Amino acid sequence: MALQALQSSGVAFRKILSHFPEELSLAFAYGSGVYRQVGPSSDQKNAMLDFVFTVDDPVAWHSKNLKKNWNHYSFLKVLGPKIITTVQNNYGAGVYYNPLIMCDGRLIKYGVISTSILIEDLLNWNNLYVAGRLQKPVKIIAMNENVALRSALDKNLKSAVTTAFLMLPESFSEEDLFIEIAGLSYSDKSPEGQFTQLMTLPKTLQQQINHVIDPPGKNRDVEETLLQVAHDPDCGEVVRRGLSAIVRPSSMKQSTKGIFTAGMKKTVVYSSLKLHKMWKGWLRKTS
């Protein structure tokens, strides 16, 4: 039954994908509409389906999508695909979202990101917005033979495992490991080992760790800072603070951009749905 449900959902996702231009280097679905969450199973049927589409040429892709799905866009559609791509690439986390779209009888939201920007985020963790999503369970619907993209996807997962291991205590359970984004062989957490792991982290995270340790203006060498952190008993907490410094600004900017890309009306409706979902979750925990 589980296999049949999985196959059925895959067919449904590909059917939804057929409503969009085909030139995708990667397409995946995620969230409660894809994977059953804690709570009533009926929530999964009614949950909004979330997608991310990765495209090599955003201007060309938006141009075709505007012809096919004009009503998906906010007022920015009148400015054309070049302006939409400029907003997509230069503001927030490099993603352009169209939320609250009815497609094949399901409510969906889809984000569009440039392949080159995604690869940069996967390798360097510039903002950890889509790269962070790809460290969690997702349903890959389509992927082309882009070697650089596939390599970056692998590197992102390896970086996640390394970072998770740095943040775990000396001893931890299997559940702890998976919660911290797992899949790592165990080894002794010596300062030398931690320094080796710190040196393999994406450069943006290394820079943020350096900023956490040293106040602005000191301009200490990143390698020197990482060596200090490797000997710090609170190494994991320093890494966690560095991650927070990456994620928080990009999430806030992306949320602000949503007002323009989705339009005010959709933003209010979408925010209300999110708050309702959070409220239901809180009620389940307290009941």
Asked if residue 92 is part of any domain, the answer here is yes
* pLDDT tens string 149-190: 999 999 999 998 888 888 888 787 767 766 776 333 233 756
Asked if residue 17 is part of any domain, the answer here is yes
Sign for the CA dihedral angle at 257, 260, 262, 266 comes to positive
* pLDDT tens string 204-244: 988 888 888 876 656 677 888 888 888 887 888 888 888 88
18 band by pLDDT with thresholds 50, 70 and 90 = very high
Q: What is the DSSP letter of 78?
A: G
254 band by pLDDT with thresholds 50, 70 and 90 = low
| Helix, strand or coil, per DSSP, at residue 63 | helix
Which is more confident, 37 or 188? Answer: 188
* Neighbouring-strand partners of residue 49: 108
What pLDDT, on a 0 to 100 scale, did the predictor assign at position 72? Answer: 94
271 band by pLDDT with thresholds 50, 70 and 90 = low
Which is more confident, 57 or 246? Answer: 57
What pLDDT, on a 0 to 100 scale, did the predictor assign at position 260? Answer: 60
pLDDT (mean) for 260-269? 58
Asked if residue 37 is part of any domain, the answer here is yes
What pLDDT, on a 0 to 100 scale, did the predictor assign at position 246? Answer: 84
Tell whether the model's pLDDT for residue 24 goes beyond 90: yes
Tell whether the model's pLDDT for residue 268 goes beyond 60: no
Tell whether the model's pLDDT for residue 23 goes beyond 60: yes
What pLDDT, on a 0 to 100 scale, did the predictor assign at position 185? Answer: 28
What pLDDT, on a 0 to 100 scale, did the predictor assign at position 267? Answer: 56
Number of domains present in the structure of the chain: 1
Average pLDDT, the chain: 80
256, two tokens: 């602000």
Asked if residue 200 is part of any domain, the answer here is no
Which is more confident, 245 or 260? Answer: 245
Asked if residue 110 is part of any domain, the answer here is yes
User: What residues make up the domain containing 40?
Assistant: 2-155
| Phi (first) and psi of residue 189, to 5 degrees | -90, 65
Contact 53, 112 (CB under 8 A): yes
Check which CATH number belongs to the domain holding 20 and give it. Answer: 3.30.460.10
Tell whether the model's pLDDT for residue 196 goes beyond 80: no
Asked if residue 25 is part of any domain, the answer here is yes
Which residues lie closer than 8 Å to 20 by C-beta, 6 or more apart? Answer: 53, 65, 68, 69, 110
* pLDDT tens string 77-121: 999 999 999 989 988 789 998 888 999 889 998 999 999 999 999
Q: Please give the share of the chain, as a percent, with pLDDT higher than 90.
A: 33
Task: Give the full edge-to-edge strand order of the sheet including 139-143.
Answer: 95-103, 106-114, 49-55, 26-30, 139-143
Asked if residue 71 is part of any domain, the answer here is yes
Asked if residue 205 is part of any domain, the answer here is no
* pLDDT tens string 40-50: 444 566 678 99
What pLDDT, on a 0 to 100 scale, did the predictor assign at position 4? Answer: 47
| Phi (first) and psi of residue 224, to 5 degrees | -65, -40
